Copies of this chain bind each other. A is one copy, B any other.
Amino acid sequence: MTDEIDGRRQPTLQDVAKVVGLTANTVSRALNDRPGVNPATRALIKAEAERLGYVPNVHARSLVLGSRRTIGVIVTNISNPFFSDLVSEVELQAGEAGYTVMLLLSYESANREREAINMALRSGLDGLIAAPVRERSNAWDNVIRAGIPLVLVSREIPQIEADFFSTDNEAGIRLTTDAVLRMGAKDVVLVDEDMPFSTIRLRLEGFRRSLEAAGLPFDPRTQLALVPPPRSFRVAQSWQADDAYRVTSDLFDRGRRPDAFVVGDDYYALGLYRTLRERGIRVPEDVLVMGWGNHPFTRFMEPPLSTLLLPFQDVARQATRRLLDRIQGTASPEIVTHRIVPELVIRASSTR
């Protein structure tokens, strides 16, 4: 009277071994296609395992192999299409390599990020892809110290030994700025977030350079419309549109009459469009507008918004590839930093 059909307990290697009259070790070798098993025996074992519904216990396997075949992804917010698309692509690439993805969300909170990192450390992950929050956390050092491969995306952390993949913010802003300059704009305003963060700084820098290259003056007091940073990251980011609406309205109230806007996020353009509509300022006749991100709704704005297609797929693919190489020890030892240039998407808002 065996407990073969005991209903609840999952069959183990032992159970399979008992049925075929061999030992667990041999069954293990057979199922994992390792040498030292008679082909006929191997076939028998596989058939029997299948029949019993044997599923290897990952916990035991992870313990002995020291790996879970899981990578962690820490991002601030998957409501942001850039990050959701990034996570999607990482999941796809990792899945093809037989790795699963553990998702950890920080919501731009340094505390939550620290918790996420600790969770990741405790979870015995094989590697980590992360978009850090704006505030630098020293918990990342623990990741490095624990020897867990780490690849950063989107935002860099100063003085940390980790590969980095990102869209090229400076090249991006230069593309959009140059696009309106080519159309004859002489007074361009940049609408962007008011934060001393590296990505924003790079955009500012690129903006300035494009203006100077065109022989135009750059005055931060008149050519920048800075949007206050958001208060919460739990909700979808339409606050960005509201804030951009306010900031650009103020700008016109102060008597400014620019002939072009380049913005750091498509949602800013959404708010800007409202400002312009309210004041009877026509796009593109009176002002040119360039967005950032190619959000799905931009094609249906009136007029359709010219914008920037961010290379999230490339970023995700390269970051995942690099991480897997590090995990498998096939990566070159030096730290790599890769900024991928985005692509212009020209529509009606920037052409006349």
Contact of A100 among B10, B104, B273 (CB under 8 A): B104
- Option from B8, B58, B100, B101 in Cβ contact (under 8 Å) with A147: B8
Provide the bound-state CA to CA distance between A123 and B263, in Å.
Answer: 44
**Complex contact B296–A236 (CB within 8 A):** yes
Q: Indicate if A57 sits at the interface (CB-CB under 8 A).
A: yes
**Mask of A273-304 contacts with B, CB within 8 angstroms, 1/0:** 11001000000000000000001110110100
Contact flag A299-B123 (CB < 8 Å), given A79-B88, A104-B91: no
A273 and B300 form a contact (CB under 8 A): yes
A271, CB-defined interface residue at 8 Å: yes
Residues facing B in A320-347 (CB within 8 A) are none
- Given A88-B105, A121-B55, A236-B85, check contact A270 B300 (CB 8 Å): yes
What is the bound-complex CA distance between A234 and B296, given in angstroms?
13
Beta-carbon nearest neighbor of A267 in chain B: B296
A274 to chain B minimum Cβ distance, whole angstroms, is: 6
Q: A59-B59, A62-B59 are contacts. A296–B238 as well, Cβ < 8 Å?
A: yes
- The answer to whether A102 touches B101 (Cβ under 8 A) is yes
Contacts of A81 in B (CB 8 A): 79, 236
Task: For A144, list chain B residues within 8 Å (CB).
Answer: none
Chain A, residues 109-139, CB within 8 Å of chain B (1/0): the string is: 0000001000101111000000000000000
B103 touches A101 (CB 8 A): yes
Given contacts A103-B102, A147-B8, A236-B81, contact A58 B91 (CB under 8 A): no
A222, B79: Cα distance in complex, Å: 37
Closest to A63 in B: B59
Does any Cβ of B come within 8 Å of A23's Cβ? no
Per-position 1/0 for A71-91, Cβ under 8 A of B? 001000111010011011001
* Residues in B neighbouring A241, C-beta threshold 8 A: 296-297, 299-300
Q: A8-B147, A85-B79 are in contact. Are A238 and B100 (CB under 8 A)?
A: no
A265 to chain B, nearest CB (A): 12
A234 to B238, CA, bound (A): 24
Chain B residues closer than 8 Å to A228, beta-carbon distance: none
- Closest residue of chain B to A70 (Cβ to Cβ) is B102
Do the beta carbons of A300 and B238 come within 8 Å of each other?
yes
Partner of A84, one of B55, B70, B78: B78
A84 touches B79 (CB 8 A): yes
What are 22 contact pairs spanning A and B, CB under 8 A?
Answer: A58-B123, A59-B66, A70-B123, A73-B103, A78-B78, A78-B88, A79-B84, A79-B88, A84-B84, A88-B234, A95-B104, A100-B102, A100-B104, A101-B102, A101-B103, A102-B103, A236-B295, A238-B297, A241-B296, A241-B297, A270-B297, A302-B302
7 other contacts beyond A8-B147, A95-B115, A273-B302, with CB at 8 A cut-off? A79-B84, A102-B103, A236-B295, A238-B297, A267-B297, A270-B297, A271-B300
